[in-house]
Amino acid sequence: MRYDVVVVGGRVGGSTSSLFASKGGLDVLMIEKRQEIGTPVQCAEATSYKTFKTLELKPSKKYLRADINGADVHAPNGKNIRVEGSNFGFIQGCILERKIFDKELAIEAAKAGTDIMVKTNVKDLIIKDGSVCGVVAKQFGKRFDIKADIVIAADGIESAIATRAGLKNPNQVENIASCAQYEMVGIDTDPNYMQVHFGEDVAPGGYLWIFPKGDGVANVGLGIRNSKETAYYYLNKFIEKFDATPVELNIGGVPLSGPIEKTFDSGLMVVGDAAGQVDPVNGEGIENTVRCARIAGEIAVEAIEKGDTSSKYLKKYEDLWRLKLEKKFKNSFKYRKLIDKLTDDDYNALAEFLEDKDLESIPKLSILKFLKNHPHLITLFVDIIR
């Protein structure tokens, strides 16, 4: 078997890379280890509409569950503020049905010419003269070599491909959010606003979310870090207050350390969670992954047309995605370090100060007065931005 490009992983990153590589006229094979693309669900399913612009796809009612206008942010003491519009850079978006969206995206890639193999594990890379030139795969007990000019690794947080290529070390525990989420029926929540809860009793080192999916259905989940108890424990503790029924449970991890140091090598590019292209503050990855994966697919087309799949040429992939997103990732990492140091008392004070205020026109005198009463917040902020 031989292809121009082999893509390892059939979720959003893999399908996007495959789609744009196939659109560019390449012979592409996408390999997915599971028997069905789209399951299990691996995120809270929220994204912005910029995702569809990048994909050059019209959003479909098949997988759109809710339009999101903003978020209600809840402090430990119950106070909350509504964030919407341009407040704090909030971007309006939607909640997806990822089981359907992921499969539809794979179908679009297949329509563009991508071959797809499911229930197939990639066991190793084929490397010759220091350049990746294919993969060793196994399907139903049969092992075989698949040659390729370029391999794109979109195999998730654990990314055996990036690790085997020497581009990635195992994620440190403190930089991974442990997450648990129920899809629940019977949740009474605003249909167009996400609910976000902070507090050590709710989600230590992280936050809890309620994302509406319409008709009384919602994703209720949380991510925590550095806790003696599990995410599953805190999730069950929180949902005790609801008269609602879970119909699905998903548990997993999200990398929050930002992108890995190098996302390319000779014959290889790494995208999505495998590359750490996840926002370090909120764990959002769909939009970032789509933007980076499209670049990878298009660079694959350029490289093969020029007959140059060297590390020197594929560096263009990293240069382009960093040009578009590196500043965003760096700022988010700074904010995460700040958030990590906030206590429940800090969240309560901020919520009480911001409650019932127009977030776009708070008088500077009010802000100065608040900071005067909470001087440690100034110290924290200055320490983080240095």
Domains contained in the chain, CATH given: 2-69+89-169+259-329 (3.50.50.60), 174-255 (3.30.9.10), 339-385 (no CATH)
For residue 117, give both structure tokens: 């193999």
Res 170: pLDDT: 61
Helix axes 12-23, 286-306, angle to 10 degrees: 30
pLDDT computed for residue 88 by the predictor? 56
pTM for the model: 0.93
- Given a contact cutoff of 8 angstroms between Cβ atoms, the answer to whether 135 and 152 are in contact is no
The pLDDT, as a whole number, for residue 255 is: 83
Kindly compute the dihedral angle of the four CA atoms of residues 214, 216, 217, 220, in this order, to the nearest 10 degrees. 110
Q: How far apart, in whole angstroms, are the C-alpha atoms of residue 314 and residue 13?
A: 17
Provide the greatest CA pair distance for the chain: 71
Ranges under pLDDT 70 in the chain: 85-91, 170-174, 380-386
As given in the structure block, the two tokens for residue 341 are: 């140091």
